[in-house]
Amino acid sequence: MGDSLVQTRKQELRRRLRSLRLAMGDEKRSMADTAIAKRVQQLPAFAKTGVLLTYLSVREEVNTRSLVQAAWEQGKTVALPWCVPHSRDMRWYRVRSFDSLVQGPHGIWEPDPHACDEQMLDTGEQMLALVPALAFDAQGYRLGYGGGFYDTFLASFEGVSVGLCREEQMRESLRDDGVLDTHDLPVHIVVTQSRTIVM
């Protein structure tokens, strides 16, 4: 399958999934996200990890704020990504409160790299990363937003990766949808409001 066809299919599926996510409504999304957060906290990998790498949810994404709060309360280190300009790389910075964040160029709240300590990923500590996407499938593959940041990150991440996805946005097989590239990598676990899928 040609690259241009894959990209066209990705764009169309992204459009449909964004519409679907918006159509769920605030209350239904909130109920799903509460159940997802509860399931994540029940993961043995969450209990064991000392460092939580997580995106900070915006707009209709699966909400991660309660998981950040729970990690702080359990004494875990929480690190948020900072996207390196003009690249597909992310650096992670430790945050101790939501008040320490600044609004980035795309309206996303992120750590200030000049004011926060960088979290290195090769410390030997057990790490768990919460991964966003517009969709996941039962094999752990994801359809992201197109920036390539998490594809680059997952290629070298040695901890446990957990995809957060509402059941309504799960796909049977993104490969069968024709939207996977050769560089796409699956996460280790996908959590929805009704199931936990371990690869």
* Pairwise pLDDT comparison (194 vs 103), residue with the higher score: 194
Q: Domain-by-domain residue ranges, the chain?
A: 3-198
pLDDT in tens, 17-44: 999 999 999 999 999 999 999 999 999 9
Which of the 8 DSSP states describes residue 118?
B
Q: What is the pLDDT of residues 57-89, one digit of tens each?
A: 888 999 999 999 999 999 999 999 988 877 778
- Give me the pLDDT at residue 89, please: 84
**With contact defined as beta carbons under 8 Å apart, do 135 and 187 qualify?**
no
Q: For residues 197 and 54, give the distance between their C-alpha atoms in angstroms, rounded to a whole number.
A: 19
What is the distance between the alpha carbons of residues 136 and 153, in angstroms, rounded to a whole number?
17
Measured CA to CA, the distance from residue 47 to residue 41 in angstroms comes to 7
Structure confidence at residue 168 as a pLDDT band (50, 70, 90): very high
Q: What is the pLDDT of residues 91-120, one digit of tens each?
A: 999 999 888 888 877 678 889 888 889 898
Length of the chain in residues, anyone?
199
Geometric angle at alpha carbon 40, from 51 and 38, rounded to 5°: 125
Residue 108, token pair as written in the block: 């996303």
Q: What is the pLDDT of residue 2?
A: 56
pLDDT tens-place string over residues 113-162: 888 898 988 877 889 999 999 999 999 999 988 777 888 899 989 999 99
* Cα separations in angstroms, 72 against 67, 123, 178: 9, 20, 40
Q: How far is CA 121 from CA 38, 90, 98, 128, in A?
A: 26, 11, 22, 11
Fold entry, domain 3-198: Rossmann fold (3.40.50)
pLDDT attached to residue 184 = 86
